Amino acid sequence: MKMVAEIEITTEGISLNGHPVETKGVGADMLNEAYRHYVNDYPKYFKMDGLSKLGFLASELLLQQLDEERFVPREDRAVVLFNRSGSIEADRHYQSTISDADNFFPSPSVFVYTLPNIVTGEIAIRNKYLGETSFCVLDHQDEQKMQQVIEGAFQDGVTTSILTGWVDYADHSHFSANIKLITNKNE
């Protein structure tokens, strides 16, 4: 396997292929400012939960700098992401809407984000990826387990590249993403 590109996002900043990306603010505010400055053409972004915003922004910044056509159907690209917290930030938000029997207001727009795999779907829909999409919740960032899942995704005979990595969003002040685009070529 060969890594084509890599992005890292923390609450403090963004690094693309080892180079810092200019950002303003910290935490969730930084994500929104980076979206407005570098992407700003996908209105669904502002309806997303924190996990989906983080994964979506990371994928956009990484994919924008590649020399390849975008937004055309691709069966050969998979999206395989991992984390430890699942969708805990959205889960807590949803729980707050159903905890009080006197103030019970469950929201479908919040509930949909109680599934961590929504972020892989958002990325696949945006980019018209028709390959595998999966999201695995692990006890910790287990590189060996992640490698096994990634290698398995390449075994279908169709997948030639995978957008993969760690996307964890505990809350607006505690999150990180490290996403890579890898190919099954060793060149």
Give the pLDDT score at 88. 75
Q: What is the reported pLDDT for 100?
A: 79
134: containing domain: 2-183
Q: What CATH number is given to the structural domain containing 61?
A: 3.40.47.10
- Residue found under tokens 């923390």: 10
Q: What is the reported pLDDT for 37?
A: 97
Q: Tell me, yes or no, if the pTM score tops 0.85.
A: yes
CB-neighbour burial class of residue 164 (10 A; exposed 0-12, middle 13-18, buried 19+): buried
Please tell me the predicted confidence (pLDDT) of residue 162: 99
Quote the number of domains for the chain: 1
- pLDDT confidence of residue 101: 80
Which residue numbers in the chain have pLDDT < 70? 113-114, 186-187
For residue 126, what pLDDT is reported?
Answer: 97
Q: Give residue 33's pLDDT.
A: 97
For residue 96, the model assigns a pLDDT of 80
pLDDT at residue 97 in the model: 80
